[in-house]
A and B are shown apart, each in its own frame.
Chain A
């Protein structure tokens, strides 16, 4: 079945809500409006106001109340409207959501999913295009994942809801309207925290996630003309990182370029680079290179084409690696 990522998420949420009456959807405008991206469209109509909550305008409230609801046995799925608006709720995420299980030695689990549409490329104003995933990956106690296509979106959201751990769930907003095949058989889905080779290749490995998966696949297609056969790996889970498939790939190709929209300093891409350098030192033909956003605040949207890695910048890094 071919469907958009937005619809795949909507179907996934619906399935999870049908499966378990303790699953709640909550956030700003998720009910009547169906969310500003319409990801929750129609859910309130079918499940009612008690399971799909149009919350007050307060992110600290959304996360903090979700923690309380989870303590009571509910499984809240929180929507943060845009990446840049998660920070009023960051205190609750870091101080409570991430630590409650550990603090209570497992007696109080917090099975909460926090959905965050993230990344740029939609021509928006300030605070609507950020990639804050590394800030969450750095926090012990949280699991952090990013989907990149409709099928993954559909299954990963359900797996995240089934997980007894808090999951920060990043959705690449500029890919919401891209279509993909969704196989409605849960058995076909890989585990939530595993990376996946999305394009096998032998010349060089591209490791990436979220919105950049498509960009890397396009780069790999373009590289064929230059005689390069690039392997593309979708990390899918940013914390914990599943580096096995990346290391295995790098041992074959000898080269790795890590790609992400986020700023580079102290980030998910730094972590991948550091650990692969450590694990695959003797297999590497070139240093691990990174293609990322810059270490600047996200620029005004007329400059985002410059800020965001594109096919050319990925290929440029591929050339630099191969020239080593």
Chain B
């Protein structure tokens, strides 16, 4: 086929126009008219008829606790990033910028609720009482996640995009089958985290269908951080993500994902809907990934610096700090104390990480099956004997 084809674009190198770029920036910048916000980027508390009552009990002390969560979660995240740079971790998945979405939603959960994370939910893990040290093994390559999954009701991280949405649907169906739904005091609910990119996966759509078909008490919590590695939201959807819920027959809400108070209130509402039997619900937390996708990624290859600068003005921590200082007269000593606590956490993480033991080869063969597997057992024995053969007498392996 030597002739240029009529259907081929005339200039494959054509770039988006200035207007298109600006339009793209706007699309990312604004959450739209439906965006639920209780605390503006300037730290002002704004009223919201629908969701205020879900934050009515939040005192200045509670807000200080949320602030502390945000700062510590960010510090743990930054420490993870540095540990990767220092060669202590194979990779790190940063949450920078998404602290409020994670802390706000996580703090809305009760201990009896179940949580299915993706792989960036270090902030949600924090709210489930999982120490950041417990996350390090995954990124250091010593385990696939070692926390108390059942006790903390925090499922293992899921790396295959979207898989957990169906698993969460099944779990929530189980809550309904066991009659744990229907009472706002004792009712249970499940929350499932995924990204904007994930919404293109079949599993996520199937999760919507299943949860709806069985009235599962499931909150789908989408952190729309605008990018799936290098691919912008516009390549995944033509409508705002929260509006998709309608097509599956349940409500969808878009919340300012950088507003911890709004995330808390909206998630409380959604969980309440689920507990009382009105689930499922979709929440789209409109936020931004401030760092690269992972430490292996280079966001400067596909993202405009202007866009990042613009989102810096919406920082999830700064607005709470300003609000506490201006509206509640919180003194600098409080912020300094939190900072000191963050330093300690950072130090503790570093020390812990460097001292993590190397797993032994027997780990590979353990817990592959519940029943004994003659094949795996034989492979283990042969491999351990092979290891032994390198050990000369009196010398450690």
By a beta-carbon cutoff of 8 Å, the part of chain A in contact with chain B is 20-22, 28-29, 31-34, 36, 45-51, 54-61, 84-85, 87-88, 123-128, 265, 294-297, 299-304, 306-307, 313, 316
Contact = CB atoms under 8 A, between A and B. Distances in A.
A301 B141 contact: yes
Given A33-B302, A125-B90, A295 B376 contact: yes
A304 B363 CA distance: 11
20 contacts: A21-B4, A32-B302, A33-B230, A45-B13, A51-B12, A54-B231, A56-B197, A57-B236, A85-B160, A88-B202, A88-B203, A125-B138, A125-B139, A128-B159, A295-B368, A300-B137, A300-B138, A302-B358, A303-B361, A303-B363
Contacts of B376: 294-296
Nearest to B198: A57
Contacts of B1: 20-22
Contacts, number: 142
B143 interface: yes
B202 A60 contact: yes
Given A48-B8, A302-B142, A302-B358, 20 more contacts: A20-B1, A33-B229, A36-B229, A48-B11, A50-B8, A54-B230, A54-B231, A56-B231, A56-B236, A57-B231, A58-B201, A85-B160, A123-B141, A294-B365, A294-B379, A295-B375, A296-B368, A300-B141, A303-B359, A303-B363
A306 B387 CA distance: 9
A15 B101 CA distance: 46
Size band of the interface chain B makes with A:
35 or more
Given A32-B301, A57-B228, A303 B202 contact: no
Majority SS at the chain A contact face: loop
Interface of B: 1, 4-5, 8-9, 11-14, 90-91, 137-144, 159-162, 197-198, 200-203, 228-231, 235-236, 296-297, 301-302, 358-359, 361, 363-365, 368, 373, 375-376, 379, 383, 386
B352 to A, nearest CB: 16
A28 to B, nearest CB: 7
Contacts of A87: 160
A57 B364 contact: no
Contact of B361 (A33, A265, A306): A306
Majority SS at the chain B contact face: loop
B236 to A, nearest CB: 5
Nearest to B13: A45
Among A46, A55, A87, A306, the one with the most B-chain Cβ atoms within 10 Å of its Cβ is A306
Contacts of B229: 28-29, 33, 36
A126 B144 contact: yes
Given A36-B296, A54-B230, A302 B141 contact: yes
A126 B302 contact: no
Contact of B200 (A61, A85, A124): A61
Contacts of B230: 29, 31-33, 54
Among A32, A61, A123, A302, the one with the most B-chain Cβ atoms within 10 Å of its Cβ is A302
